[in-house]
Amino acid sequence: MRAVFSGIIHILTHLRLSGSKRLIFLSAILFFRFVAAEQLPIENLLERSYLDDYYSNVIYGYRIITETEKYGARYTGNSLRCSNCHLDAGRRRDAIPLNVAGMYPKWRSKNGRRNGIGLRIRECFVYSLDGIMPPEDAPEVMAISAYISYLSHGETIGEAPEGRGVPTIPDTGYDPNPASGKAIYDQKCAACHGKGGVGIPTIPPLWGIDSYNEAAGMADVKRAAGFIWANMPLGQERTLSHQDALDVAAYINIQIRPGDPRKYKLLKLLESVSGIFSR
């Protein structure tokens, strides 16, 4: 990059342009340098009649994220969509954005293994979507990988992008209290998610057989609280206090939900099979 710039400056000195003209020329070059490198927004890609293998996979991945029940149905077990947590199809910061391709492979304590982006995606299907694990080379996994690397364009490899994951709630000095969480839930959340947490079409269920299972990332109270504090209620983000967010998260996560597939094997199987027939 530096070599390119020094080259351009060198040419400019030879062109003998005046100072202001030189500035305009340089900014024009910079503009084209970055705008040309900018990727097409997904809405433009959607309008195209023909896409090559990469971009058609990006679009397929986008569709799986936003319409999981239609495009990702093969491996999902509940009625959640990826974009229920990865808000704005994984493009909103502090809502578990998906521009994280540069951070993999990395070691995760969850499974005690070195995780590639593929394994990370496959585990999302098992835990958050409470479904079955897709094979490594499943077209769905490939498509979501393509979409993630599309979103990660411009990020630095090995560095966490800004607004990655959810914000960490600072220590409030109090334990999360599900009882006060219920009061806040009934007042602020139940209007959309329903008293029983079952959700309505386009609003995800928060607990019950159609929600994420006990091993999902959201089943962790601190992480759920961070998500709720930063993104909920939709349109009035960051209006809850930190303690309120912790209480609501605790209330949601003490409810009944599908079991951990690593713990209850036979029960999990029966639960999944019964879940299939209720679809």
Partner 1 sequence: MALNRLPEVLPWHPRNSTNINYSSELFGALIGAILVIPQGITFAYLAGLPPEYGIYTSIFVTLFASLFGTSSMLGGPNTAVAILIGVAVAPYAGRGSPLYIDYVLMLSFMVGIIQLLIWLLRGGRFFMYLSPAAITGITTGVGLILVLSSLDGILGLSTSGTLFFFQKLYLLFDDAENLVNPYSFSVGVVTVVTGLVARHYKTRYAILIAIAAGYLCGLLEMAQFPHVDMELELLGYLPITPLPLSHPPVGTEYLLVGLSMLPDAIIISLIGLAQSMVIVKHLRSDTDQPIQPDKEVFAQGMANLLAPFFSSFAGSGSFNRTAVNQSLNIKTPLAGIVSSGIVLVVILVLGPVLTYLPMAVISGTLFLVGIGMIKTDEIRRLTTWRGELAVFAVTLLSIIFVGLQTGLVVALVLSVLLFVLSASRLELQVEHEAVSVRIRVEGHLFYASIDQLSQLLKRHRSENVILDLSVVSYLDLSATEAIAKELTNRNNKQTFFAIQLSSPRLQAQFENRMLGEPVQFIQQTQT
243 binds partner 1 (CB under 8 A): no
Token readout for 227 is 């998500």
Number of residues that bind partner 1 (CB under 8 A): 39
* Region 31-70 residues binding partner 1, contact defined as CB under 8 A: 49-53, 56-57, 59-60, 70
Q: How far is the CB of 65 from partner 1 (least distance, A)?
A: 14
Residues 20-29: contacts with CB under 8 Å, at least 24 apart: none
137 binds partner 1 (CB under 8 A): yes
273 binds partner 1 (CB under 8 A): yes
Q: How far is the CB of 132 from partner 1 (least distance, A)?
A: 5
Q: At 25, which amino acid appears?
A: F
Backbone angles phi, psi at 234, to 5 degrees: -55, 130
80 binds partner 1 (CB under 8 A): no
Q: 196 near 203, Cβ under 8 Å?
A: no
**Whose CA is closest to 278, among 75, 77, 132, 84?**
77
Nearer to partner 1, 75 or 251 (CB): 75
Q: How far is the CB of 125 from partner 1 (least distance, A)?
A: 10
Q: How far is the CB of 268 from partner 1 (least distance, A)?
A: 8
Cα 48 to Cα 221: distance, rounded to the nearest angstrom:
42
Nearer to partner 1, 59 or 121 (CB): 59
Residues 75, 104, 229, 251: which binds partner 1 (CB under 8 A)? 75
3-state secondary structure 91-105: CCCCCCCCCCHHHCC
277 binds partner 1 (CB under 8 A): yes
Q: 121 near 146, Cβ under 8 Å?
A: no
Residues 45, 132, 190, 192: which binds partner 1 (CB under 8 A)? 132
73 binds partner 1 (CB under 8 A): yes
**Whose CA is closest to 146, among 84, 70, 57, 72?**
57
Q: How far is the CB of 166 from partner 1 (least distance, A)?
A: 24
Cα 278 to Cα 275: distance, rounded to the nearest angstrom:
5
DSSP, collapsed to helix, strand or coil, labels residue 107 as: strand
Q: At 145, which amino acid appears?
A: S
126 binds partner 1 (CB under 8 A): yes
**Which residues share a beta bridge with 223?**
none
Tell me which residues touch partner 1 (CB under 8 A).
49-53, 56-57, 59-60, 70, 73-76, 111, 123, 126, 132-139, 142-143, 261-263, 265-266, 268-269, 272-273, 276-277, 279
